[in-house]
A and B are shown apart, each in its own frame.
Chain A
Amino acid sequence: MTQSRPSLQLVAAWLGLLGLLALTVTMAYAPLGAANAVVAIGIGITKAALVAAIFMELRYRDALTLLFAGAGLFWLGILLWLGLMDFLTRT
């Protein structure tokens, strides 16, 4: 018997993502001041991590694949860090 139903974790990830979407939209309307941006980005990172770990199967991959997936993010960090450093410290 071949499997045709999605595994439980796939469904859980999907429902979790939709739940997080509802949460982030709700939280956006809560008056948290500057924290609104932090919450929005934090939930975004959580959702992205879910997609990467479960849908993209990164959980099962070896260190090399993780390294490749992380390299792009690491260099993105360099771009944002050094790029923003100029604009945030202008006098």
Chain B
Amino acid sequence: MPDSPAVAPQFTSASHRDETAELGMWVFIATEVLLFGGLLLAYFVYRHAYPQGFVTGSRHTEIVIGTANTAILLTSSFLVAWAVEIFSAETRRLTAGLLTGAICLGLAFILLKGIEYHREYDEHLVPGIDFRFTGSLANGVQLFFIFYFIATAIHALHMIIGIGLLAVLALLCRAAPSTRRRAALHSVALYWHFVDIVWIFLFALIYLPGRSAS
């Protein structure tokens, strides 16, 4: 496996460099946890204040699309993990192929999300733009949908960044699968899995409540 010739002078070896990069990625993920953490606090505070409104709002979300998107994202994470596992010079085509698969699944996720947004717009459920919901629960439902749109939009933004990074990695791995690329792929994979984990929780908080009560 060809290695990049020079290691930046602050590192003693390529493995030193790569381990440092991975540590950096974990620090970044800790940062991201707290970014979504602020939203989570808001969610729990308002769910506590408006339990019925949140259940009702939740029942207005598209659980079919939500479930499909969860499966799509879990599968794309699996493909990325697979690509990391088999990464080598001989398998570079397969690696690039797996990453391309993950990218396609990511795009499918975004597409479905767009369809979902559109349906919610048609149902007048977009606060600030077109929100019509009457009755005593209107406030709680509106707060729920504000959370829904902000959280899923920020998550989708992370997805788009992740898709871009995966695309760059797919091209790079195809061209020259050095150990340096391996470290980069590893970092991007960590990021992608993290975005997956965020969605796992958003799914549980947004789509699942209130399904049993009829």
Q: Which residues of A contact B (CB under 8 A)?
A: 2-7, 10-11, 13-14, 17-18, 21, 24-25, 28-32, 36-37, 40-41, 43-44, 47-48, 51-52, 54-57, 64-65, 68-69, 71-73, 75-76, 79-80, 83-84, 87-88
Contacts and interface: CB of A to CB of B under 8 A. Distances in A.
A14 B208 contact: no
B63 to A, nearest CB: 7
Given A2-B91, A17-B78, A51-B193, 6 more contacts: A6-B82, A21-B71, A25-B208, A36-B212, A56-B193, A69-B30
B197 A88 contact: no
B77 A55 contact: yes
Nearest to B36: A76
Interface string B21-47: 011001101111110011011001100
A54 B85 CA distance: 11
Given A10-B81, A80-B40, A48 B201 contact: yes
Contacts of B30: 68-69, 71-72, 75
Interface of B: 22-23, 26-27, 29-34, 37-38, 40-41, 44-45, 48-49, 63, 67, 70-71, 74-75, 77-78, 80-82, 84-86, 88, 90-91, 94, 189-190, 193-194, 196-197, 200-201, 203-205, 207-209, 211-213
Contacts of B26: 65, 68-69
B180 to A, nearest CB: 19
6 contacts: A28-B211, A31-B213, A32-B212, A40-B208, A44-B204, A75-B33
B95 to A, nearest CB: 9
A87 B48 contact: yes
Contact of B38 (A52, A64, A79, A84): A79
A2 B90 contact: yes
Contact of B86 (A3, A18, A30, A68): A3
B212 A18 contact: no
A31 B212 contact: yes
Q: Which 4 A-B pairs have the closest CB atoms?
A: A72-B30, A72-B33, A14-B78, A44-B204
A18 B67 CA distance: 10
A5 to B, nearest CB: 8
A75 B70 CA distance: 26
A76 B74 contact: no
B193 A55 contact: yes
